[in-house]
Amino acid sequence: RSFTSITPPPTCATPTKPRPQTRDHTRTSPSHVAGQTRLKMSSIHGKPEYISVCAGLLEAHELFDLLPTHGKVVTLDADLPMKHALAALASHAAACLPVWDSAQQRFVDIFSCADLVDIVIYTHRALAACDSLGVSAPGSGRSEGSGRGDAQNALERCQLRDLHGLKRSKPSGFVMASVDDSMYHGCVLLKQHRLDCLPLGDASCSSSLLHLLVPEQVLAFLVASNEFRQYADSFAVPLAESVMPHTRPLRTVTRGGTLADLLLLLSAERLPAVPILEANGALFDILSARDVRELAAMTQTNDPSILLEDSLRSLPPSQLRVHSCSPSDTLGMAIARLANPDVTQLVCVDHGVVLGVVTAWAVLSAILPASEG
């Protein structure tokens, strides 16, 4: 396997170390181990069989098996101005990027689309404060609106290490796993720490980062496995029973709302996406944190008072923006659909009523034992 750590100035600076060329694969057959672990876990009282199947399969494989044959890891330096960090997130179509602190010689944070939402809100609150105070440079003769420009420029000049001052909606810190850890261990870390992604290195405290693991990749691995087909009946459980209890609380906005209304919900409750409803409650569209990344790249977040309909028109054209499901659909169906990188989330609708948003993270939570939360 080969890995390329790219460093397009000035956005990336990723230290690397050579990966050992050989690995010891003289281990018990994964399918045999998976069967043993599944039978062992199925004896635990009250566990649905799909949890036992998934736990056994994930225990039998290393995180190394999820690494792509060829890959790149784009990292951001902590001293990078926010303006370039935002550009890097959009240009690489990334959901999250790791942050490297050259002074400490280690990774210290993950910059994600959720952070971008927080930044947009922070920016406009600062600009609103400038406007209310009529800020302008003394003796410059500039108008009140120049205060907005000064505040915008100041924010763009601030560095990634200043993210702690944004009162971010997610917990701080940097959790990392080794590629030699089991997939089960990696999934537990994703669930316990509510991570958007899990950095993988040669060791759990390594300064070399090989890959960013996202929940969708775990689901794609399950779909491609023999066990997923062999135990298909185990995954024929309705979403209402298996996944819906693990989704985030439903929050919606109406079609006539503003971008600011939706951004506040995304940030305050750390939601992956917010459904947009018609006046009669029917589903109209959905806007996610990743959509905000696209809007920010096109400077469509400069005015938060813009109507949601106008924001949606600014997004890149897509053949199908809203992917929906029913509470009676099966867990296996949700796993297969969300394993597709083009399907970010599924809006669960029952007889025209929106019930919630199903994400890969929610499915991952559902297939792990409750004790691992």
User: For the structural domain made of 226-367, what CATH number should be given?
Assistant: 3.10.580.10
Q: Lowest-confidence range among 33-47, 70-84, 120-134, 274-288?
A: 33-47
Cα separation, 22 vs 34, in Å, equals 24
- Residue 42 confidence (pLDDT) above 70: no
Cα separation, 84 vs 156, in Å, equals 8
Percent of the chain at pLDDT > 70 equals 75
Q: Lowest-confidence range among 30-44, 75-89, 235-249, 331-345?
A: 30-44
Cα separation, 196 vs 190, in Å, equals 7
Output the pTM of the full model: 0.80
Residues 6 or more apart whose CB falls under 8 angstroms from that of 238 comprise 327, 328, 329, 330, 331
pLDDT of residue 109: 85
Give the DSSP letter of residue 182. Answer: B
- Kindly report, residue by residue over 216-254, the tens digit of the pLDDT: 999 999 999 999 999 999 999 999 999 999 999 999 999
pLDDT of residue 32: 44
Whether residue 200 contacts residue 176, with contact meaning beta carbons closer than 8 Å, is answered with yes
Cα separation, 351 vs 219, in Å, equals 28
DSSP-derived 3-state class of residue 158: coil
Question: Who wins on pLDDT, 22 or 53?
Answer: 53
Cα separation, 282 vs 200, in Å, equals 41
- Kindly report, residue by residue over 270-322, the tens digit of the pLDDT: 899 999 999 999 999 999 999 988 888 777 777 788 899 999 998 888 778 89
Between strands 96-101 and 106-112, the pairing is antiparallel
Name the phi and psi angles at 201, rounded to 5: -135, 180
